[in-house]
Structure 1
């Protein structure tokens, strides 16, 4: 994610550490994208069983939410629901969604304030955002179980959602998920006395976590709650790009790793792995690794019935 120039590095790191929708994050991340393996269609097509492929808008609480699906429901298999990181949208997930759709039904959506979905009327909480996710799951999966696979902020949202929806969520894949204690991590590793790039990283990230980004999503720190013994794969980046922050980089990398380890408490069936060739966008840098993890979790969820 790191490009030439201190400002570009700062923007990239802010997007990654916050996992949040700063103005400019979407542009920053799209500049780093590798070509997608394919894109989802714009026109949704019903298959006669209530499922659709392509994209469609659903209404949730009077707001329009953009949803995309690939592939058909497979007997006994959960539906995979992908959650994008902050500053991104479902278009960023198009390649991995298409690949997953070759064997399973895979869907994604733009959260309010992201992509082609409506802007939120006011501040959003994880609870109100969870209601949107529930509506999406109801539309794309019906009564079928789901596996949530989230990147960055999307990983945090998935892990916060699962404990309250154990009847539906039967597996998780967390790809470099935002730490459950992200605000405290930053305040510890980058003091108020810091200067230069570190100041921008600290202050802009904390502002986003307070709900000052386009999604207006307030993301408080909190303990990791258990979602039971569902299969969970936590995947952390292996390329230490956060080390680019002068003076504080080593501490940020250490805190990020500790954050990934904290997410293991979400399930008795969690495992942690490292994507050795990846920076923050694991599913872009190593798509086969990400797809493999999601398919493993989906198969384990199916076997668990």
Structure 2
């Protein structure tokens, strides 16, 4: 009987150990979609595919992971699934982000507003908690580009490449000027229709984030990374009730200049203008994004494949 009891106890110990090991490995092996405990707070993470470097897809302001994982049209493969076909790909929901009024963030809420530094730190903690091994290629849309660059500056040894998808240029407040900038803030701040009562909606001060990024860029410029910049060509669709002070032509001109400045961050950066897209290139021309990610991934694997930047 004692021997049987010992065997039974040993079996329980082995089962518990195996279960714990499986839970520990889950985010880094095989397909994974679910919450990850980050210091007692749950963040939604989705990973797919195998290979290195791992690609981290970072959404823009108030967008959750579904902007990368949802097919943009019938028979069209979303960026997330396509990238997972040639390397490991992960994306996540920041707190307070959405796809639309019926697809809210699957991560625990946090107090708003929050800073860009907090977002970058949160991503680092998530990847550490989930045991997602670097180096990473960060693929970031819109304001996510600023988060990605802050991450690269703060954790330079973790980042092997960058793809900026119509990313936010920190020079925008200065490029627009005080009047236009104030009008833009008025445009971008209200909650989307149907989400006026969603108190957990992401809120970030664009001006403060831009200033912080400018300081970081001056203090720790990017160095030795393959950088691919994608920029929109079609004018961005505007919401109703646009302030009279806002000039769309002025905004587009400032954005183009800002994109050129992003492409000038590194001498061998590649820069392509998406002629058939407005701000959401990953939806309107996903193949451009997929090809850019593939090029940077290949450059990380074989630096000689990168070649001279294309403007």
Using the size of structure 1 for normalisation, the TM-score is 0.72
**CA drift at 1:110:** 0.6
| Distance in 2 between residues matched to 1:207 and 1:113, nearest whole Å | 14
Question: Helix, strand or coil: the match of 1:295?
Answer: helix
Q: Is residue 2:112 matched to residue 1:137?
A: no
> Could you list the runs of 5+ residues in structure 2 that have no partner in the other structure?
1-21, 70-77, 98-104, 192-198, 305-311
Q: How far apart are residue 101 of structure 1 and its match? A: 0.7
Q: Which residue does 1:20 correspond to in 2?
A: none
1:167 aligns with 2:157: yes
CA RMSD of superposed structures (Å): 3.0
Distance 1:254 1:150 in 2: 22
C-alpha distance in structure 2 between counterparts of 1:301 and 1:286, whole Å:
24
Residues 189, 248 of structure 1: 8 Å contact kept: no
Match of 1:71 among 24, 40, 49: 49
Q: CA deviation at 1:206?
A: 6.2
**3-state SS of the aligned residue for 1:227?**
coil
SS at match of 1:217: coil
Secondary structure of the residue aligned to 2:94 is coil
Q: Distance in 2 between matches of 1:79 and 1:141?
A: 12
Higher Rg of the two aligned structures: 2
Relative to 1, partners in 2 of residues 1:45 and 1:281: Cα closer, same or farther, differing over 3 Å?
A: farther
The 8 Å contact of residues 189 and 252 in structure 1, kept in 2 or not, is answered as no
Q: Which ranges in structure 1 are unaligned for 5 or more consecutive residues? A: 1-43, 193-198
Counterpart mapping for 1:95-134 below 5 A: 95-114=78-97, 115-134=105-124
Q: Is 1:228 equivalent to 2:223 in the alignment?
A: yes
Residues in 2 aligned to 1:287 and 1:191: alpha-carbon distance in whole angstroms: 30
The number of residues matched between the two structures is 249
TM-score, normalised relative to structure 2? 0.71
Partner of 1:54 in structure 2?
A: 32
3-state secondary structure, aligned to 1:171: strand
Q: Distance in 1 between matches of 2:248 and 2:227?
A: 28
Q: Distance in 1 between matches of 2:280 and 2:157?
A: 30
Counterpart of 1:214 in structure 2 is 201
Note the C-alpha offset of 1:279: 0.8
The 1:87/1:206 distance shift into structure 2, 3 A limit, reads: closer
